[in-house]
Amino acid sequence: MKKEPNILVQILMTLFGLYAVLIVIVSFFIVIPSYFFVFWFVPADKAPFQAHKISRFWAGFLLTCYFIRVDVKGKNLIKPEQPYVFVCNHRSQLDIPLFARACVNTFRFLSKIEVTKIPLMGYIVGRIYITVDRKSKEDRAKSIIKMQDSLLKEKISVVLYPEGTRNRTNKPLIDFKDGAFRLAIDTQVPIAVLTILNSAEFSPAHKFMQLKPGTLKAVWTEPISTQNMTHRDIPRLKEEVRQRILQTLQQHSNS
């Protein structure tokens, strides 16, 4: 078990976290006009792809300001024009900008409806991602249709966290939900797995507003075809992805 950082280190991480929040706020008001230009002037069928470029740039800018490098292995395994159901483990707020830098494919996150209540940011999230009210069965059903349309009609990938939320435990993974695997099988789209190795070390889920610089590491593995799978294959597919993440974490535990 890893030791908790001493009090001085925690204070420094908190101060650095406050600096990071300031960078987000300042950069947000610089980036906003770019998103609105895309929403208003770029054709609807091309807007998601242009907005994705802005998001990737913004993620890279933030990580640079945080003095955080990104080391991603296996990027050659992901075909840029192929839509995927992307899945990854989730332990930190850094996982979102990390994923944006790790993946060149245009994609949509599935976001909680609560995010759309944030002024300006909520509007942008509602335009470029798919939102869901988890308390509403009807809204969950609508979000599934939107994800299917994204994959099959627009050829835009979808990112889902199979754990359903951030893992705040000492376990490497918490229980997986069926959603990502059901979606991949229903659309017959391959699943691509990104294992994030160490984001919790830089921004712990159980520590409010703490951050430190360093190198974020992640690993892509060979995508998994879902061709000819049915719902009966969900448990097997879910376990295959779970074991792949666990094995990757173990293989790179000392890297």
**Distance, CA of 96 to CA of 78 (rounded, Å):** 18
Q: What is the DSSP letter of 251?
A: H
Single pTM value for the model: 0.91
Q: What is the pLDDT of residue 19?
A: 94
Q: What is the pLDDT of residue 175?
A: 94
The per-residue pLDDT for range 206-233, each reduced to its tens digit, is 777 789 999 999 999 999 999 999 999 9
The per-residue pLDDT for range 108-130, each reduced to its tens digit, is 998 888 888 888 888 898 889 99
**Distance, CA of 175 to CA of 3 (rounded, Å):** 25
**Distance, CA of 210 to CA of 99 (rounded, Å):** 20
- Tens digit of each residue's pLDDT, the chain (255 residues): 455 567 888 888 899 989 999 999 999 999 999 999 999 999 989 999 999 999 999 999 999 999 999 999 999 999 999 999 999 999 998 999 999 999 999 999 988 888 888 888 888 988 899 988 888 889 889 999 999 999 999 999 999 999 988 898 889 999 999 999 999 999 999 999 999 999 998 987 777 778 999 999 999 999 999 999 999 999 999 999 999 999 999 998 766
3-class secondary structure, 158: strand
Which residues have CB under 8 Å from 198's CB, separation 6+?
A: 216, 217
Comparing C-alpha atoms, which of 174, 202, 160 is closest to residue 71? 202
**Distance, CA of 57 to CA of 65 (rounded, Å):** 12
**Distance, CA of 231 to CA of 183 (rounded, Å):** 10
Using alpha carbons only, give the angle 220, 222, 223 rounded to the nearest 5 degrees.
100
> Do residues 179 and 147 lie in contact, with contact meaning Cβ atoms separated by under 8 Å?
no
Q: What is the pLDDT of residue 2?
A: 52
Q: What is the pLDDT of residue 122?
A: 85
Q: What is the pLDDT of residue 189?
A: 97
**Distance, CA of 38 to CA of 19 (rounded, Å):** 29
Domains, the chain, ranges and CATH? 7-251 (3.40.1130.10)
**Distance, CA of 111 to CA of 143 (rounded, Å):** 10
Q: What are the b/e assignments for 162-183, b being 16+ CB within 10 Å?
A: bbeebbeeeeebbebeebbbbb
**10 Å Cβ neighbour count for 195?**
24
Q: What is the pLDDT of residue 1?
A: 47
